[in-house]
Amino acid sequence: MNAIRVRIASCLLCVVVALAPLPFGSVDELTIAFWVGLLGVAAVLAIPSKFTRPQWIFLLLATIVALAWGLVLHEQTSVYPWFAKGLSDPIWPQASELLGVPLPQYVTVVRNQPLFAAGAQMAAFLSLLSGFLLGDNRAYAKAVLRVFAWSGAIYAIYAISSFIWDPTVLLWREKLAYRTVLTGTFINRNTAALYFGICGIVWLLLFFKDIFGPSLRASAHTHLSSLLLHDMPRRAVLSLVLFVVLMSAVFMTGSRAGSLLFILAAAGVCVFALRKKNSGGKTLLTLIAALGLGGVIVLETVGSGVNARIGFEGLTDAARLSVYRAVLRMIADHPWLGTGLGTFAWIFPGYRPGDISAFGVWDRAHSTPLEIAAEQGLPFAMLVCCAFVTIICALIVGVRTRHLGKIYPAAGLLAALLATAHSMIDFSWQIPGFAIVVFSLVGIGLAQCFAMSEVRLLRPLLSENHEENHEKESSHELTLLQKKVSI
């Protein structure tokens, strides 16, 4: 019964991971509510009968963040807050005076807006929780990773085909913006670039897994030229082809930050995988140069929009710097509980600087940490940052210590780093169709950092070693290997 329950949870998570990017990035409230419902059911069904110590620690940290989040929402929307008496926004007494009627005093500048905007953060949290609870099982972790990779490849193929056929159409609607670049199923090209970029990195990891095995890197006795040119497995060829397709989709978005982050991540993966132990760097430099040349060719052929934007606009945006200064003034005026979750579009016009263009609507801060601090207060923003730094550190440890299944913490780490770096200058984490799938990937990677399945898989090898060698020596080796792979 327990196995059936967990299998259903895995199927639900895979469905959400595959379909969340499809309806325009799942930005409308009804779609978000639907994903929250499915993810909530998946999280409940995935609860194990017995928790391991790492699972208890993770659930404790998750509970602290969830309780803090709920407390902030309560204080922002309650007429009688527990701790925020005297922190109500000045807009309420001003409105009461102008209207000539008494009005309730709230911390949020828009009544009940935090409750309407809570769905996106709930979906991200539940996807991380579901991925972590299911990811302890290697089979379920593999299913989620494969679904993520294949769905991203299918969306990329569709996006490129649709862009070639008619670039002014987004699914069944006419585009209102970004009519000359690829956006996939998302409304914003930067989110599309980051999504396709992470999917491409996953396919690159799968490529190295297919040719080098679970360690993801070449051994000292690996003949790279022979392996890459003559003995490459068919699955590795498919992974490489899909990586190139996704790389093309990234460059066709015209996103500067997304393209540069993708290039850096791909180069880092290649350096990690192709550098052999105790070997010179000549072969590695040759391979990196060949890969770089291939990337430049693709960039010049399908990514001319990126080159044009960098050449015309540069690598930085002066308007965003002015907006960041304005957001810092918002934070200074509302440091403890913010202006209310989801209220940035309402409060920002009062802080909008005069040195930016009057064209366009700034409904996002283009920096997720700053927007969290502005809407939910500095203490909560610092708690979220500390929790995410802890997750990234755990993923780094998993990449360094795992042998079998290294691809899962590696994929989670790269996804977290790319999304976090991009969120510093944009709002990718705030798009539910992107955040749901990436947090699921981070969740299974985090679970595989602590999973004991690697020790169980090594036991048959250790028992064979025990028969061949002396009993005392084999027992000592078993102890050393168990220490090496256990967390």
299 band by pLDDT with thresholds 50, 70 and 90 = low
Q: How far apart are CA 485 and CA 114, in angstroms?
A: 44
pLDDT of residue 212: 83
The confidence score (pLDDT) of residue 176 equals 81
Residue 352 lies in a domain: no
DSSP 341: T
346 falls within a domain: no
Share of the chain above pLDDT 90, in %: 54
Q: Quick one: pLDDT at residue 223?
A: 59
Same structural domain for residues 7 and 91?
Answer: yes
119 part of a folded domain: yes
Same domain flag for 395 and 463: no
**What is the predicted pLDDT for the residue at 2?**
80
pLDDT (average), residues 187-198:
94
Residues 23, 55 share a domain? yes
> Who contacts 12 (Cβ-Cβ below 8 Å, separation ≥6)?
38, 39, 41, 42, 45, 130
Model pLDDT for residues 67-80, shown as the tens digit of each residue = 999 999 999 999 88
**For 199-229, what is each residue's pLDDT tens digit?**
999 999 999 898 888 877 766 556 555 566 6
**What does the mean pLDDT of the chain come to?**
83
Which ranges in 216-348 belong to alpha helices (H)? Answer: 224-229, 234-252, 256-274, 282-302, 304-313, 318-333, 344-347
Task: Give me the pLDDT at residue 339, please.
Answer: 94
Q: Which DSSP category does 32 fall into?
A: H
Is residue 18 domain-resident? yes
Residue 357 falls inside a structural domain: no
Please check whether residues 163 and 261 belong to one and the same domain. yes
For the stretch 412-436, pLDDT in tens is 999 999 999 999 988 899 999 999 9
Between CA 25 and CA 208 the distance in angstroms is 30
Rounded Cα distance, 284 and 271, in Å: 8
105-127: average pLDDT: 94
- pLDDT at position 119 over 90: yes
How sure is the predictor about 353, in pLDDT bands with cuts at 50, 70 and 90? Answer: confident
What residues have CB less than 8 Å from 445, skipping those under 6 apart? 135, 395, 398, 408, 409, 410, 411, 412, 413, 415, 416
**383 and 473 inside one domain:** no
pLDDT: is 62 or 232 the higher one? Answer: 62
Range of the domain at 474: 459-485
Q: Is 341 left (phi over 0), alpha (psi -120 to 50) or beta?
A: beta
What's the mean pLDDT in 162-187? 88
Least confident of 24-33, 162-171, 228-237: 228-237
Task: Give tens-digit pLDDT for 384-416.
Answer: 999 999 999 999 999 988 877 899 999 999 999
Range with lowest mean pLDDT among 125-134, 352-361, 362-371: 352-361
Same domain, 61 and 11: yes
Residue with the larger pLDDT of the pair 333 and 314: 333
- Average pLDDT of 318-328? 87
pLDDT at res. 292: 58
Cα–Cα distance, 480 to 486 (Å, whole number): 10
pLDDT at position 257: 87
Which tens digit of pLDDT belongs to each residue from 26-72?
A: 999 999 999 999 999 999 999 988 888 888 999 999 999 999 999 99
**Alpha-carbon span 407 to 425, nearest angstrom:** 28
- For the chain, give the number of residues: 487
Beta-carbon neighbour count of residue 462 at 10 Å? 15
CB neighbours of 446 closer than 8 A, spacing ≥ 6? Answer: 58, 131, 132, 135, 391, 394, 395, 398, 409, 412
Asked if 134 and 171 sit in the same domain, the reply is yes
Nearest-CA neighbor of 401 among 455, 460, 331? Answer: 455
**Beta-bridge mates of residue 169:** 174
Claim to verify: residue 477 and residue 376 sit in the same structural domain? no
Instruction: Report the pLDDT value the prediction gives residue 459, as an integer from 0 to 100.
Output: 44
pLDDT for residue 470 is more than 60? no
316's enclosing H/E stretch is none
Reply yes or no on whether the pLDDT at 300 is more than 90: no
| Residue entry with tokens 């803090």 | 68
Residue 431 lies in a domain: yes
Give the number of domains in the chain: 2
Does 327 map to a domain?
A: no
- What backbone torsions phi and psi does residue 174 show, to the nearest 5 degrees? -80, 135
Q: State how far the Cα of 51 lies from the Cα of 60, in Å rounded to an integer.
A: 12
Q: In the prediction, which pLDDT does 468 show?
A: 41
Per-residue pLDDT at 456: 47
Whether 470 and 446 share a structural domain = no
- Looking at residue 289, its pLDDT comes to 60
pLDDT at 386: 96
Which tops the pLDDT comparison, 2 or 95?
Answer: 95
Q: What is the rounded distance in angstroms from the CA atom of residue 432 to the CA atom of residue 201?
A: 21
Average pLDDT rounded to a whole number, residues 336-353 = 92
Check residue 229 and give its pLDDT: 60
SS (H, E, C) 344-399: HHHHHHHCCCCCCCCCCCCCCCCCHHHHHHHHHCHHHHHHHHHHHHHHHHHHHHHH
Q: Are 71 and 127 members of one domain? A: yes
- Note the pLDDT tens digit of each residue in 241-266: 999 999 999 999 988 889 989 998 99
- Amino acid 171: pLDDT: 86
State the average pLDDT over residues 307-331.
Answer: 70
Is residue 132 located within the same domain as residue 43?
yes
Kindly state the average pLDDT of the residues 361-366: 85
Q: Say yes or no: 279 and 380 in one domain.
A: yes
175-178 contact pairs (CB < 8 A, 24+): none
Whether residue 425 lies inside any domain: the answer is yes
